[in-house]
Structure 1
Amino acid sequence: MRSPNLLALVAAGIVVGAGIGQARGTVPGGLARTAVANEAAVPVTAPAADLAPRPTARPTLAPARAHPDTAPRRRGSTSRSSSSGRAAAVLRTSRAVLAAARVETGPQGLRVQRALARLGPRVNTSDRDALRMAFRAYYAYKAAHPEHVRKPYLYFVDYGLDAETPRGYVFDMRELRIVEGPFPVAHGRGSAPRGGVPRRFSNRHGSEATSLGLFVAQETYRFSGHANGRLYSSIGLRLRGVSGRFNARARERGVVVHGAPYVTREGAGRSEGCPAVSPARARTLIPRIRNGGLVFLYSPHDRTWKSEDPWANRGRG
């Protein structure tokens, strides 16, 4: 039978061994048990304060540096801006390809494509941009100002054709059909010689030249003019130019749609800038488009206007 003193010594040795094992950073079992067994055989006499377990000392480690090639990269604003930049570049390229192929995009573009498919094969134009720009301007203005477009009619003139070629049409843009045309239309005497193709266009007072772009058909009035030294009268239709600097002065210049005796089935003479038609045509065309129809006058010979008209270029692919 073991004495109480021997048992106390063994217990003290176990406590000291546990403290040494913690100080060495070992886990219970294995090395810790070996240390306790070895020290338990040695008689220990120590104050109670020395027998208390001591706090574990943890070594201070320097922060590890990752190699730049293996360090994880942060997904922050840089990667997002890079992705956005690539997406924008792809979008610009796609639009350029579609524009070169003359494919319209977006909701308005689909309407333009549909109108071209229905009306294009039936219309004689000077180039393939004529109807495309007219329909683009029509739908863009209608979307922006539906309160001004109260009728579905578009009076279109292609001044890329000469005065002896019928170059005027009226389209029903709701049903996508030709209502009138082709028929001869006059151009301004300041735009071309008699019978020729107009190549000069102006929004300036006194120019007597045709203005290009989009117009809103407004009210009618009693028009009077002179031809071959004789006074004549007709129904007249006032126009408000909405293509900015290209035709904004149309109303104050007196540019109107009217009937004129110098426009016949064989061709058209020259006006003071008005898209005049024959007297018989004026009696049907003008009442149809007044107060809410649109008018579009086109030419391939004014590159500045073609590239800068605010409505004909809106929504371009």
Structure 2
Amino acid sequence: MLTKRIFVLLYTAVLALASVFLFVKIQQRSLIIQLDNHNLSANAYHVVLRERESMWDVTQKIEKSKKIKNVQVHFQDKKNKDLTYFFGTGNFEVPPMITGSFFGSGAFDSEVEVVIVGKSYEKKLYKPKDQEYLKMDSKYVPVLGIMGDKYTSDLDKQIFIAPSIEKSKQLNANSFRIVIDGKKKLDKNTLKNLLGAKRIAHLPQRHFLINQDSWILDHYRELLMLLVLFIMVIFGIVIWTVNNRSRYIELLKNKKEPTQLLFEEWEFYTLLTGLGTVFGVLGGILLTDLTDYVALLVYNVCAFLINNIVYVILLRKQIDGLNRS
């Protein structure tokens, strides 16, 4: 009997541990999706201006606004998807960096143009002394840092440019694809009124959850494996009850009360599966770099509760059948 209980404990722990690794995969996939989309969130807006304005005009409206805070503005080149003029104000979302640092506030009101490049450019940079440069249009532009992560994504090929004041005043904003994203979700009407936008809408990106309902498609492999884990949990219940059938028969023959037997068996099973779940989840968290635990905990708590409910139902049915016979 002790061997069976240890098996249930370990079996539950292994399934819980596996669930942690699957949620790490979901986290990794979500990160790659965001990086593939210029590190923009699902709440980013594509803005088309009503009148001709320079980049400087647009960014200054945002900079001076008291209603729009902590935002990043991407002026994406319509001919070269890897080239983006960048502006940020406040505490905006910053991509992962391999070396150097991302644009500081001083980069957006400078007389000198500077760039941030993806890791694909790392070996293409010119470094005469301590400063790295990227050759663009026959001139060398200072590089502040290199973006990237341990995962491969489209961000690796990106060039983010913080233009000089003079250049930002020369460039027509509507000649670019203007995308605005906030640290928190921006109010569409406030943004539209501030910029005098002709049209404003969420980005039509196939990877994001809310607007395109494709989050499930992006993570279907991991979700399918979570379903398999849950089925294995139910399978473990069946194996446990079948293997204990002979013991239940013996206890009932010895005048064991069915209700008492049900409670004692459920008590042991709950303790074992509870400990197994806790050990598995904690072990997985210690072994991985998971940063968001909410979904993982919700999944395992729900699996634990449903597991015990199903176990009680099957056990009651089995004990009642044995008692009648």
Same fold (TM over 0.5): no
Q: TM-score range by the shorter chain?
A: under 0.3
More helix by share: 2
Of structures 1 and 2, the larger Rg is shown by 1
Ranked by relative contact order (alpha carbons within 8 Å, sequence separation 6 or more), the top structure is 2
Tell me the TM-score normalized by structure 2. 0.23
